[in-house]
A = this chain, B = another copy of it.
Amino acid sequence: MVTLTEVARLCNVSASTVSNILNGKKNVSEATRQRVLKVIEETGYEPNFYASRMRSQSSRTIGIIAEDLSMYTMPIVERTMAVCEDQGFMTMLVNLRMYDRYSDTWYYDETKLYDVYKAGITQLRSLKVDGIIYIGGHSRYLNIFTDLEDLPLVVAYAVAKDSTIPSVIIDDEKGGYDVTRYLLDQGHKKIALIAGVHENLHTQKRLAGFQKALFESGTLYDPGMVYYGDWIRKSGYDGARILMQFKPDAFLCMNDFMAAGAMDYLREKDIKVPEDISVIGFDDVQLAAYTLPALTTNRINHDEIGRRAANKLIDIINGKDMARKEGRKPIKVPCDMVIRDSVVKR
Which residues of A are interface residues toward B (Cβ below 8 A)? 46, 48-51, 53-54, 69-71, 74, 77-78, 81-82, 85, 90, 92-93, 95, 97, 100, 123, 125-128, 260, 267, 285-287, 289-292
With A and B bound together, what is the CA distance between A100 and B86 in angstroms? 13
B49 A127 Cβ-Cβ under 8 A: yes
B123 A90 Cβ-Cβ under 8 A: yes
With A and B bound together, what is the CA distance between A50 and B287 in angstroms? 46
With A and B bound together, what is the CA distance between A53 and B289 in angstroms? 49
A95: B residues at CB distance < 8 A = 77-78, 81, 93
A53's closest neighbor in chain B, by CB?
B50
Q: Which of A49, A81, A123 has the most CB of B within 10 A?
A: A49
Majority secondary structure, A binding face: helix
A46: B residues at CB distance < 8 A = 125
Given contacts A50-B50, A287-B290, contact A97 B74 (CB under 8 A): no
10 contacts between A and B (CB under 8 A): A48-B54, A49-B126, A50-B127, A69-B77, A71-B71, A77-B95, A93-B95, A260-B290, A290-B291, A291-B291
A97: B residues at CB distance < 8 A = 78, 81-82, 85
User: Within the complex, which residue of B71, B128, B292 is in contact with A291, where a contact is CB–CB below 8 Å?
Assistant: B292
Q: Which 5 A-B pairs have the closest CB atoms?
A: A49-B126, A50-B50, A50-B54, A287-B290, A292-B292
A75's closest neighbor in chain B, by CB?
B69
A49 B128 Cβ-Cβ under 8 A: yes
